[in-house]
Amino acid sequence: MTQKTLKKCYSFEGKGLHTGKYATMTVKPAPVDTGIIFKRTDVGRHAVIKAIAQNVSDTSRSTSLTQDGITIRTVEHILSALTGLGVDNAIIEVDNIECPILDGSARRYSVLIGKDGLEEQDAPRHTITIREPIEIKDEANGSFIKIEPFEGSSYDTTVDFNSQVLGVQTAHWDSSMDYIKEIGSCRTFVFFHEIEYLFRNNLIKGGDVDNAIVIVEHPVSKKQLEDLSKLFGKEELEITSGGYLNNLDLHFPNECGRHKLLDLIGDLRLAGGFLNARITAYKPGHTINTTAAKAILTAASK
């Protein structure tokens, strides 16, 4: 299989989920063997950050990369979209510290780029072949990621927050499936009881009820709903019979599980390319995802 890049440039604008800072992001075609790189255009022409696991600098509710003292935050959604679409080489220019969250998914990226198709390039694709199984575990919360030899890319996730609303959700994607329809549109989510804590800790400053599914696990008072409505500038927020805030309608019953898979695909792209592997993840998150990406990169270099 040959390498692929974009046929043209695509621009996206909006707030960063955690910083609340407005950014314009432009995804551009790139030459053979570029891989995926970010450029902070607000910092200078040499502010380049390679999308590679060694550059992971923070995994608090999203994945941040830092190179030569320059940081770009919340990279997982655009990395997931480019991986799901089969893009080998791209330059992503951002004029602020964080990629825009848009609707909380990778839908806009994947739909626009996917509609035009990709440009074939005159060089073979660099795939990462897993020769021996790798397993990363977090003994504290029981999460794990297994990476096993496989012809192609296959991802299976199980999400369990011990939540009566979510239950245990599973999701699957492999390279034979339509990423845009099955994964790209699945939005990020947050528990109602986490929102105040996250704001207090300088996270989700750009969050609103248009870019996140809100799960209401515990009883909520009328005043709490009114306060949240004022915070986000929305009226008549209510709790559905299923236990979600009525700000959004679910695209899939397991949309939250699929979003965790979306994140996993993006984070594992930091291993440096497309994986020939079967990935099985239980309770994945950015920390264990990026630890797995580092382990794959290390194994591939031997």
Residue 52: which of 300, 267, 264, 270 has the closest Cα? 270
Q: Which residues contact 30 (CB under 8 A, 6 or more apart)?
A: 5, 36, 37, 89, 90, 91
| Cα dihedral value 302, 127, 107, 231, nearest 10 | 10
The DSSP letter of residue 221 is: -
Question: Is 172 among the residues known to form the active site?
Answer: no
Residues 6+ apart with CB under 8 A from 191: 161, 163, 214, 215, 216, 217
Q: For residue 101, give the amino acid letter.
A: I
Quickly count: other Cβ atoms within 10 Å of residue 144's Cβ: 17
Q: Are 133 and 145 spatial neighbours (Cβ–Cβ below 8 Å)?
A: no
Radius of gyration of the chain (CA): 19
Amino acid at 276: N
Q: One of 18, 77, 259, 286 is an active-site residue; which one?
A: 286
Structure tokens that stand for 209 in this block? 């009820």
Encode burial over 30-64: b for 16+ CB neighbours within 10 A, e otherwise.
beeebbbbbbbbebeeebebebbbebbebbebbbb
How many other C-beta atoms are found inside a 10 Å radius of the C-beta of residue 125? 13
Active site residues: 286
